[in-house]
Amino acid sequence: MSNVNECEDNEHSPLLSSERSVITPNYEGIESQGTETVISDEPDEYVSHEEEHHTVPQIQQTVSHASGESGDTSRHFGPTVICRVCSAIIVIEGKTGQHVVKCNQCNEATPIRAAPPGKKYVRCPCNCLLLCKASSNRIACPRLNCKRVITLGGSAPVGTAVRAPTGTCRVLCAHCQEIFMFNTLNVTVAKCPHCQKISSVGRDYARNRAIFFIVCSLLFLIAALGLMVSFFIMFFSFSLLIFSSVVLDNDYISES
């Protein structure tokens, strides 16, 4: 049982010490903001592939010559990896227990260990490394200057990018506070895939519904007024007929 608890703690602990993302870890060392926006701008959707293989650390010697009169050289012995973004050499001495390491040149993350059970690595076209569920089909990049919607596909070649349908955006469920994708051009309510409850998205749907109910109420009001007017007309005509028949009967009786 202690091993199981230890694995769960390792899975929920951040892979980088400064990583604080609560929606989708982006391993860029800053806290993602703006993830609670109900409706975001129209993002671009990209077809991407998860990084199934992590970089295996290699034990090698790194020698860097320092410029100067002394001609001193600094030598580094220990495991190193190649950055997946800029191909720079990253010394991971003392960091082999982490899942990912951060490059000092491009400040992007490179995985050095396999993803935790039930998770997988995905790299956004903006080079942001994301960690998501293995069953996820679409994820959103949390970077403020990106916010792309990434579709995870297995047939398209790596690097293939397609634009999302017009009107696609991320919405926040009003019931369970979960984020999911929705096309605002559809004249339907949004059904949350998490709690299966229905919510309206944006102002257009509410305005259209209000116009519909106002028009229906006006039609019913006109129909009610027409029915009342016709009833009064029939009532007065029927009363006039009764009055005339009574007068004629009285005249007939008086003459006789």
Q: Are 117 and 7 in contact (CB under 8 A)?
A: yes
Rounded CA separation 120/116 (Å) = 7
Burial environment of residue 111 by CB neighbours within 10 A (0 to 12, 13 to 18, 19 or more): buried
HSE of 84, CA atoms in CB hemisphere, 13 A: 24
Q: Write the CA distances from 242 to 232, 235, 255, integer angstroms.
A: 15, 10, 20
DSSP 153-201: -SSSPTT---PPPTTEEEEE-TTT--EEEEETTSSSPEEPTTT--EE--
Marked catalytic residue, from 132, 141, 169, 173 = 132
Q: Can 83 be counted among the known catalytic residues? A: no
Rounded CA separation 150/47 (Å) = 6
Residues labelled as active-site residues:
132
